[in-house]
Structure 1
Amino acid sequence: MAITNLNEFLTDYFTAKDCEIISNHDGVIQIQLNEQMDRELMNRPFYWHYIKKIGRTGDPMQLTLITNPKQRDAKGDWIHFGSPRLQQIMNHLKEKEKFTKLFQLIHATEKTPLHPWLVVNFKISYQGQHKKDEIISIGLHLVNGMMKLDMMNLLRKFSLQTTISDYCFTLSPMIKIKSGYIRMETVLSNYIEEQEHTWAKKSLELLQEEIQTLQHFYQDDLESEQMKKEQDELTKRYHPKVTLDVINGGIVYLEQHAL
């Protein structure tokens, strides 16, 4: 269910942003950013302010991303679920492009209906002694209720655009977006429940050990504010929890038998 190929995800992301992929070999991706993505990711506001002030064309930076663990010592940003750079990209998607509407590009010569799909990309975060993030993409046909997992990879084979092609028209949804989203949440809840949760048990055991150590240290003052504060911090750090967040999503209109 999860998107595990970060290399494909990142190359697709930057290609969609009109950035040149200079090289992509053995889990090392070298990207030439454009001005927009340099502004979004490289934290150089003063540089761009100065460049615009003097009327020059700026020089966007190159970015090297490493997705192969064997290459993690190479020069660049080591990318994995939970890494700062990947989190930055996810936040950018969440803040700037959370919702969209896209249409399949079709060279039609007669009236062609396009079917609505609700597509949502979720992030499941498992938090305890360690943290793990999982990205899951789901598509729901809003007319017949068909559900597809790994939806973003399925959409890769289509050319999508923000305007509808000539001779095409859209079908009205039979399933409301809110209802469709609830169906997706139910699927994910069942998926989470079916996972092996030994990590949660280990986190709870570690939490109890840490609290016992703390109480031993404060054995003469168990009601102190400092002791309670430190215990709350331990609980916040180690108590296992699972959170579900929406990264982005939208409505995608496809031909009837596209999927």
Structure 2
Amino acid sequence: MMKEAYKLVIEYLKYNGAVVTESADKALVQLTEQLDRKFMNRPFYWHYRDSVNQSGEPMHLIIQETPGQLKANDLLSIHYDHHIFQSILGSAQQENQFYTAYEQSETSCMLYPWITIQLTASFNPPGLADIRMNSRISLISGIKYISGSHTCDNLSLSGTRPNGSIIQSNRLPFATAISILYSGIEHYVSDQINDDETVQVCFKHISAGLIYLRSFE
């Protein structure tokens, strides 16, 4: 889960205006003032700046995909186990609104749980068109479906649970399901670029949800 959490944190910071310079397994992040005030626990610094009517200097961070001992120019380095990383991750998860939806039915039915993830894969250097991906995995059978932007999913979903429906409990743990689905997405994208190692892939515009469907496969 660390890799998925890292991606979500980086996407969240970019969306909120941070300047992010990424390498293979880490990123240099220049925070905005708003992000610094929210996550860096420097209330006295910002109170002083406000009291003298001066602009402050938002911090720079290094965010690592996995724990390590990286030191660079006295910058703070954080990773999955760091409390600041967990604070940012919590906001990212909450503000991305991991939603719940139900397949609609006019009669009583059994509904089975799935995890769904939608995202856009973009490529550097430019040349390949972005791919908007729709994917889902059954929490009952483990079967997964992954498709590119030219395939539409015609499921009729709503935030309201159908009357008389029965919810089947999941058998596959959420963390396991998400890990399997992300691996499938990465494999799908690799096939599109023919495993060209010179092409870097960036996942963005990520949304996810727990959906209940009338089929478990």
Higher helix fraction: Structure 1 or Structure 2?
A: 1
Q: Which has the larger radius of gyration?
A: 1
